[in-house]
Amino acid sequence: MADGIIVKKSDDLLEITLNNPERGNGLSDEQIVFLGDTFINEHDKVRLIVLRANGDDFCIGRAGMGTRPQTRPEALALRKMSDIVFRCYGAVRASKAPVLTVVQGRALGFGCALACVSDMTIAAENASFAIPEFTHNIMPTMVMSSLVDRVPLKSLMYLVWTSKVISAHEAQRIGAVSDVVPRADLEKTANALIERLMKAPRPAVLAVKEYAHGAMTIDTAKAVDFARNIHSLINSSSEMDVKK
């Protein structure tokens, strides 16, 4: 357990809650490492992972964003600092269990990337998203790597160069968010989806992510063959014979 992050596991559900509301849930490097560790250690033991945050904001980014060290780190040290973030994004992508993120308030920088790299993102109407790295003279390719297969390239470059804050509805329009609901309905909507996925046959829930991510990296003919094979494999499983 890490200070500022609550992890709860029950049956096939893993719930992770960012819990530093007084600082907008900005995450320290230690917390980012813990978050990556949690995904890596638990992703193949559960059916669904839910990421939430307490307070008014989802996550305003890395703690200390915009502050500069007195001396510039050497390249190797800088790479190690960056790799904890790439590792966390990669752990979400590589998770066998789908990842649902529930967003209210601000999702900035790392928070924006974390929300968008998830498999499903439900946002409240008061949510806002931004990549402010350029404002702080920081090269934003870390955040870009999490969105590069999520949003159109022209939208991504525009968000990066302008540091523009966009609404939840605009984030949905460009494909960064799955659904937008009134703030009062956020938890109810998320819980209804969680309940649906927890009742569905586990092989089918996991296979959707396996296919969606695998098919993106191959040509259409191979993607069709992949669909044919995984369709036969999963639907012939006795685990699909569950009572609704």
Q: pLDDT tens digits, residue range 107-131?
A: 999 999 999 999 999 999 999 999 9
Mean pLDDT within 219-232: 92
User: 68: pLDDT confidence band, cut at 50, 70 and 90?
Assistant: low
Q: Is the pLDDT of residue 2 over 80?
A: no
Q: Are 115 and 134 in contact (CB under 8 A)?
A: no
| Rounded CA separation 126/100 (Å) | 18
**Interacting residues of 145 by C-beta distance below 8 A, sequence separation 6+:** 86, 89
What's the pLDDT score for residue 66? 46
Q: Is 184 exposed, middle or buried (0-12, 13-18, 19+ CB in 10 A)?
A: exposed
What's the pLDDT score for residue 133? 86
Q: What percent of the chain has pLDDT over 90?
A: 72
Q: Is the pLDDT of residue 238 over 80?
A: yes
Going by C-alpha positions, the residue among 124, 208, 204, 216 that lies closest to residue 171 is 124
Which residues, in sequence order, are bridge partners of residue 166?
Answer: 129
Say how many C-beta atoms besides its own lie within 10 A of residue 205's C-beta: 19
Torsion of CA 181, 112, 49, 90, to 10 degrees: 150
- What pTM, to 2 d.p., does this model score? 0.89
Of 80-89, 97-106, 166-175, 199-208, which range is least confident?
A: 80-89
DSSP-assigned letter for residue 27: B
The more confidently predicted of residues 71 and 114 is 114
What's the pLDDT score for residue 240? 80
Mean pLDDT within 32-44: 96
The more confidently predicted of residues 69 and 138 is 138
**Interacting residues of 30 by C-beta distance below 8 A, sequence separation 6+:** 2
What's the pLDDT score for residue 140? 82
What's the pLDDT score for residue 142? 86
What's the pLDDT score for residue 74? 62
Q: Is the pLDDT of residue 244 over 50?
A: no
What's the pLDDT score for residue 80? 60
Q: Are 99 and 119 in contact (CB under 8 A)?
A: yes
Q: Is the pLDDT of residue 82 over 80?
A: no
Q: Taken in order 207, 208, 214, 220, is the CA torsion positive or negative?
A: positive
Residue with tokens 């969105």, as numbered in its chain: 147
| Rounded CA separation 36/117 (Å) | 13
User: 9: pLDDT confidence band, cut at 50, 70 and 90?
Assistant: very high
